[in-house]
Structure 1
Amino acid sequence: MNYFISILGLAVVFVLAFIASNNRKEIKYKNILFMLVIQLVLAYILLNTKFGLIIIRAVARLFEKLLEYAGEGINFVFGGLMNEGAYTFFLNVLLPIVFISVLIGILQYTKILPFIMRGIGFILSKVNGMGKLESYNGVASAIVGQSEVFITVKKQLGRLTSQRLYTMCASAMSTVSMSIVGAYMTMIDPRYVLTAIVLNLFGGFIIVSIINPYTVGSHEDFLEIEEAEKQSFFEMLGEYIMDGFKVAVVVAAMLLGFVALIALINNLFHLIFNLTFQQMLGYVFSPIAFLMSIPADEIVDAGGIMATKLVTNEFVAMEQLSKMAGHFSPRTLGIISVFLVSFANFSSIGIIAGAVKGLNEDQGNVVARFGLKLLYGATLVSVLSAIIVSFVL
C-alpha cells in the first residue's frame, strides 16, 4: 500500500510541476527519468546498505569531530556562561557554524573547493542535459550557500536569460549550505541530512527541467567563476570567521522572532478556535503528508511541522520535530527529516533576491518577480525527495 501511495505522490508532484511549466515541448523526459532512477538508487544505497552506512558514519563522525573542535573555541569564550551539562541552542548548534565557515574559506583559498565544484558540475551537466553553469551552480549552492554562490558567478549574471536565472535561484533554494550541515546533524539524524543533500541536488534539476525547460546553445554554455579578491591567508580567515558569526547571529535572531511569534499565534488560535495555528496548518498540509505515504494517524502532526518550515525556516521546524519525535514512527521521522533539509521557505525569496540585486540590480528585480514560483518549485523538490525516501524506508 505504501508503494502505491508513493507512486501516486510522484505522479502528483510531476503533474503540479507540469502545470507550472512554461514550455512543455522542451521537457527532456529521458534526462528526468534517468535522474529519478539515480535518486532511487542513491537513497537505497545510503539508507539500506552497509556501504551506505559506512559513508553516513564517516561523514557523521567527521562533523562530530569538527563540532568537538568548535566546542574548544566556544568553551574558551563562553565557558563561564554555561552550566555543567546544560544545552544551549546558540552555543551548541549555531556557534559551530563559525568554525565550519573557516574550513570552507581555507578550501576556497587553496583552490580545492572550486576544483571539486567544477568537476562535479561538469559530470552533472552530462546527466541533467543542462548547461555547465547551471550544473556548477547546483553543486556550489550546496557547498557555499544560497546567497554566496551568486558571488562566484557574478560576471555572468547580467548576461543570463530569466530562464537560466530561475534555474540557478531554484538550485540555491533547494539545497543547504555545508556551513550549517553540522548544526542540522545535532537536531536530526545525520543519515537523513546527508541523504537529503544528495537527493535535493538531483531533485532540483528534475523539477526545474519540468517547470522551466530550455536548451542551452554551445555559444551560451560558458562558465566563468569569479576569483576571490587577492587576500593574505589571515585576511581570508578573518573574513570567513566574521561571515560565519554573522550567519549564526542572523539565524539566532530569526529563531528568536519566529518561535516567539508562533507561540503567540498558537495561543491566540487556541483561545479563538480551540486549536493551535500549527494544528490548522497540519490539516492544510496533511494531503501532502499522505502523498509521502505517512500513516493517517500521523499526517496532521507531520503536516504541521512541514508547514512550519515553509512559513518560518528549517531550524524552527527541526526544533519542533525533535520535541515531537516520540509521536512519530521511525519511518515517518525519516521522511519528515528529509523534507526539512532545504532552504525552501518564504524568507529565502528575500535572501536570494537581495543577494542577486546586490550584484546586479536589474536581475535582482527579475528574481523578485518570480519569487513565489521559485518557492513553489523548491517546495516540490523537498516533497519529491521525501517521497523518494518513502520508497526505501
Structure 2
Amino acid sequence: MKIAIVGSGYVGLVTGVCLADFGHEVVCIDKDDAKIAALREGIIPIYEPGLDALVKSNISAGRLRFSTDLPASVAPADVVFIAVGTPSRRGDGHADLSFVYAVAREVAGAVTGFTVVATKSTVPVGTGDEVAHIIASINPDADVAVVSNPEFLREGAAIEDFKRPDRIVIGLEDDRAREVMTEVYRPLYLNQAPLQFTARRTAELIKYAANAFLAMKITFINEIADLCEVAGADVQEVARGIGLDNRIGSKFLHAGPGYGGSCFPKDTQALVKIGQDFGSPMRLVETTVSINDHRKRAMSRKVIAACGGDVRGKTIGVLGLTFKPNTDDMREAPSIDLIRGLQDRGASVVAFDPQGMDTARSLIEGVRFADNAYETARGADAIVLVTEWNEFRSLDLDRIKSAMIAPVFVDLRNVYPPQEMARHGFTYVGIGRGIEPVADDAAH
C-alpha cells in the first residue's frame, strides 16, 4: 500500500519506519527542511533503540522516503496518517489541536480518489468529527474516510510495541475504511495482534483512558510508598504482593519520583479538560495530576533531609536526567524539579545521563555535566539516582564512595538493596522503604 505520514516526530517516524519494514511504500512528511535532509541521510533526530538501523535499511530497500512536499506525497496515498504534536495548550491544559487541523486543511486539497485519513495523534473526543468537517468544507468532492488509530508506543521500546502490539484500536464511521486499515496491519496477523474496531469517538477516548489509568497506577504506588516509609513497611514487597493478583498485575507498580514524559502529563491534563467540557468531572485523574506535580517537587526535600537538612554550599551528584531510560526525552522529567529545588536551597549540581544531557542543557541552568557516573561522584556530598539506566544498576560502589566527600546515596528508583548499600558504608535512602537496613561491621 501507499502510505503518507504527516509529521516526522517520534510517533510519525516510528510508525512510518515500521510500516515500511512491513513492506508498504511509505513517505514521511515534515515542514522542517533540515530534519528531512538529515533523515534522508539516515540521521535520526531522536534516540530510540534500533530506529536508526531500520531507517537506513528501509531507505536502501526503496520502501521509505522523506519529503517536505505534502500535496505530491498525499495525492497517491491510500492512507494518510496525521502524526503531529498535540501539546498542552498554554494556560488551560487543553490539547492544542492547531497542528492537527492545519494538516487536515492541507490534506483536504491534496487527496485524490478514496483515501483513509487516520489520526495517530492523541486527540480529544470529537476531533475526528472536526477533521472530517474541515476536509468536507474545503473539498466537498473529496472521497475520504476519517478514522482514529491511536498509538500505544513506549519510548525506549517503540519498535517492539509497534511490531508486537497488545492491541490495535481503529475507530471508524465508514465501513470502507475497515478493509483498508485491516490491510495496513495485515503483516501483524502472524503475531495474532488483536484489531479492535469501534466507533471513532470511542477510539479517541481509549487512548486517554489508557494513559490516565497507568498514571493513576503509578501515583497509587507512590502514595503507598509514602505510607510505607512512616509505617515501617517495604513498598517493593507490597507492590509484589498486590501485583501477583492477576486483576491488578505487576506493571507500573514501581515507586519513584513521579511520572513525566511526553504522554502522561499532557494526556491526564487533557482528560481532565475533556471531562469538564462534557460536564463529567474526572476527579480521580484531577487528583492524580495534583499528587504527581507535588511529588516531583518533594523529591528535592527528600534529598535535603538525607543531607542533614541543609545543602547550602554542598555538591549533589545526579545520575539520570531523562524521564525514563532508553530515551533522550526530558519533557516533564522529575529531574528538572529536583535539580531546581536543590539549586534554590543553595546546592551545586553535577549530573550525568547517557542520552539526555544535550536537551538538559537548554532546560536547566547552572548544572555541571559530567562524562560518566564516577566523575559525577567526585567531590559530591550526596548522589541521587533519578533514572534507572542499565549502566547505573551495577556501579562500582567502592569507587563511587571513595570519590565522594560524604557517602550519602539517595536512590529514587530503588535500584540497590539497602543491605548492600549498608555493607559498602553508605547512608542510603530509598523510596518507600521504612525498614532500616542492618549495617554489618564493614559499614562502621
Superposition TM-score, scaled by structure 1 size: 0.28
Structure with larger RCO (C-alpha < 8 A, sep 6+):
1
Larger radius of gyration: 2
Structure with greater strand share of residues: 2
The structure carrying a bigger helix percent of its residues is 1
